[in-house]
Amino acid sequence: MLTSLVLTLIADRPLTLPPYLGRASHAAFLRLISDADPGLAERLHAPDQQRPFTCSTLWGAPRRGRSLALDPETPVFLRYTGLTAEISHHLQRLAQAPPSHVEVEGAGLAVREATLDPDAHRWAGQTTYEDLASRYLVSNESTSRHTELRFASPTAFRSGGHTLPLPLPDLVFGGLVGKWNNFAPVAVSEEVRRFAEEWPSAATDCRPAPSQAKGDRSRSASWAAADTWRSTRTGIGWG
């Protein structure tokens, strides 16, 4: 089971928060899990593991200098995804019975809505590994020769102990293959990883999109990558 929960939040008064809240969002997620299953939250907090969930930063708040400016008139949202049935079960529970508030960086934000419905929010949704496999791995339908990946926030990749800002094919697809095979009941061939490693970087068109750099007033780059070996437009939704 793959599940994407979107929590729409609202501040009860004007607030100023740091611009990057990934760690605060992660901490909030573990608290939400711990409320129902402290043992699971402790296991998820353990280091050096392939994590079966993702946590977004806080989206939707306008920037004011180097801070986020929240106010009672502007909803913001967090997205949490689950890559296993166990995590998805908790996200489904939160969608059905959401908490009244979520604490983010010490600020208590009221939960206006919790949804798994993509019609209610474009970043919400549910599917299964089997459904994805039947559509994309064993389908007889022909595929195009291009795919487009859009990164919604500045993205970097760990490789050989280094952090790299470029979405090179072996880093992108190697990471996706590893995560899929770690959690899915239907494995993807490791040949995909080898193919990505051997794919020439010159065949990948990477175009920077403006985004605010952490701790910097200037505009920096996140990436939109158009890879020429397949052409079905694909978004990164579950990574």
pLDDT 10s digits, 64-105:
999 999 999 999 999 999 999 999 999 999 999 999 999 999
CATH of 2-126, one of 3.10.28.10, 3.30.420.40, 3.30.70.1890, 3.10.310.10: 3.30.70.1890
H/E segment holding residue 95 = helix 85-96
144-227, CATH topology level: Alpha-Beta Plaits (3.30.70)
Q: For residue 135, what pLDDT band results from cuts at 50, 70 and 90?
A: confident
Burial tier of 179 (Cβ tally within 10 Å: 0-12, 13-18, 19+): middle
Q: For residue 216, what pLDDT band results from cuts at 50, 70 and 90?
A: very low
Same fold? 2-126, 144-227:
yes
Token reading at 183: 């959690």
> What span, in angstroms and rounded, lies between the C-alpha atoms of 40 and 86?
9
In the chain, what percentage of residues exceed pLDDT 90? 55
Q: What is the mean pLDDT of the chain?
A: 83
Residue among 55, 44, 39 at smallest CA distance from 4: 55
Token reading at 214: 């952490």
Is the pTM of the predicted complex or chain greater than 0.95?
A: no
Domain range summary for the chain, segments of one domain joined by +? 2-126, 144-227
Between residues 209 and 119, the one the model is more confident about:
119
Q: Is the pLDDT of residue 107 over 90?
A: yes
Q: How many CB atoms lie within 10 A of CB 32?
A: 22
- Largest Cα–Cα distance in the chain? 54
Between residues 7 and 231, the one the model is more confident about:
7
Q: Is the pLDDT of residue 26 over 70?
A: yes
| 182-209 average pLDDT score | 75
Buried b (16+ CB within 10 A) or exposed e, 136-158: eeeeeeeeeeebebebbebbebe
Q: Are 133 and 186 in contact (CB under 8 A)?
A: yes
